[in-house]
Structures are given as C-alpha cells and as structure tokens.
Amino acid sequence: MHHYNLLVTERIQPSWRKDFANEWKKFANREIKNSNKYFTNHANWVCSCPIFLKHRFALCKHLVSPLGNMDNTFFKKVQCNNKYPFLYEAQQTIWQTIKNDLPNALANPEIEHCDYEKAEMNLKEILAKAIKYIEKSETLPQQRKWLNAIEKNLGPVKKMVNDLEGFEAAKTSRKTWNGHNSNTFYWQ
C-alpha cells in the first residue's frame, strides 16, 4: 500500500517509465537505411516492421527516429493505456501530441490518402491484367508450364490471402496481438 501511495502522489515514477525512456532514446539514435521498406504512419502511430509488432511499448526506429530525442517532461507525462493507443500524453493520444510537431509532409493525411488511392488503382489494374493473361493462356500450347511459372510469382500473394483467411476465422476470440503478422496487422 505504501508503494501505491508513493505512485499516486508522484513521489516515485512507475518502473516502466525508465525502460520506456531508454527504449525511446535507443531508437531515436538509430539511422534508417531504407525508409520505404515498411509502411509507417506517424499520424496513427503504426509501423509494419516486425520490431513494432512485438515491442513492449509499440516503438520502432521508423517511428521514433524522425522525432529524435525528447525532453524529460515528455517521459514524465506519457501514460500507459491497456488498449490501443498504448501510450498517451494527458488527454490526447501520444501521436496527436507529437503530430503537431511533425512537418506537414509526415502528418498530412490528404497526401497519404491520395497516394493510397493511386496504389490501390495500380494494384487493381495489375491484377486485372494478370487475370486477362491467364484467360488468354488457354490457347497456349504449353499452358501448364506457363501457369506454374505464374503460380511461383504469386507465392507471397497466396500467403497473404491465406493469412487473412486464417485471421478472419480466428476473429471470434482475439485477446492479444499474437498471431498477427505484416499481412494481418492492419486488417481490422
């Protein structure tokens, strides 16, 4: 009870705060070699890298490095949350607070939305062309070999579809982030 009273009166800090500050500083000093490798959204504080998916505080170098080191008041104000968002500062979520400090290029959802629409249209166009060529392949003398070559190229897409189907089937009792991978993390 004494320890709880010390926490409530803010005479001592929770043990996780020191760990959080150390992790933040570790990621802030890391260099990002290929910034386009993973999907990173600073506005919603999500990243598709494996470190973010498994990290205790939902941090990774792709999210923290552009923000750099923060002052000690930031680490004193950050609170833990049991549901997403896992971190928040005062009444705002952590990314709402940080979003005000980001350059417009990182925080402008209109630019991101436009890019997503183009990417979606491009993907649909490519898939439509692929289906058209598969239908045309019926007249090829070596159709089986050609279809086997196509199937080898579609391995990652097939894996993603299988992951999503498994995720949809397991939706009834999700109490943890376990089982998520880069294919299913944003599918909600």
Which pLDDT tens digit goes with each residue over 76-112? 777 766 555 555 555 555 555 555 555 544 545 555 5
Assessment of whether the complete model's pTM goes beyond 0.85: no
87 and 16 assigned to the same domain: yes
Q: Which of 10-24, 70-84, 150-164 has the lowest mean pLDDT?
A: 70-84
Q: How many domains does the chain have?
A: 2
Query: CB–CB of 75/17 below 8 Å?
Result: yes
Say which residue, 34 or 67, is predicted with more confidence.
Answer: 67
Alpha-carbon distance 58 to 120, whole Å? 27
Sign of torsion, CA 5 6 10 14? negative
Say which residue, 15 or 137, is predicted with more confidence.
Answer: 137
17 and 95 assigned to the same domain: yes
Give residue 110's pLDDT.
Answer: 55
pLDDT at 114 over 80: no
28 and 94 assigned to the same domain: yes
Task: Give residue-wise pLDDT tens across range 44-59.
Answer: 778 888 888 888 887 8
Tell me whether residue 85 is in a domain: yes
Tell me whether residue 63 is in a domain: yes
83 and 168 assigned to the same domain: no
79 and 171 assigned to the same domain: no
Enumerate the β-bridge partners of residue 165. Answer: none
Q: Quote the mean pLDDT of the chain.
A: 74
Q: Which of 6-15, 56-65, 67-76, 129-138 has the lowest mean pLDDT?
A: 6-15
97 and 12 assigned to the same domain: yes
Among 39, 74, 106, the domain-final residue is 106
